[in-house]
Amino acid sequence: MKVKDSNINIRQNRNSVALIKDLKVEGSSLYLKRGTVIKKIRLTDHSDEVHCRINGGGIVLRTEFLKKM
């Protein structure tokens, strides 16, 4: 399965990405700012989502909000 980010770059496990938009995490008071670098992403079973760890917790992000670092 090929996973692509917002700029149509192919993503792989353990890549680093950056956010292209400010995001509010549902169910939390956490806001993720644009430009935040996320390291060591993991691909999921869905081609439009990746799993990552932020502030010690796991979160699933949509690839449309990510870009290659």
Per-residue confidence (pLDDT) for residue 56, from 0 to 100: 86
Q: Which helix (H) or strand (E) holds 56?
A: none
Instruction: Give the homologous superfamily in CATH for domain 3-68.
Output: SH3 Domains (2.30.30.40)
Half-sphere exposure of 24 (CA within 13 A, CB side): 4
Q: Tell me, what's the pLDDT at 13?
A: 92
Domain map (residue ranges) of the chain: 3-68
- For 19-48, the pLDDT digits (tens) are 999 999 888 888 999 999 999 999 999 999
Q: What is the pTM of this model?
A: 0.86
| CA 59 remoteness from chain centre | 8
Taking the C-alpha atoms of residue 13 and residue 34, their distance in angstroms, rounded to an integer, is: 22
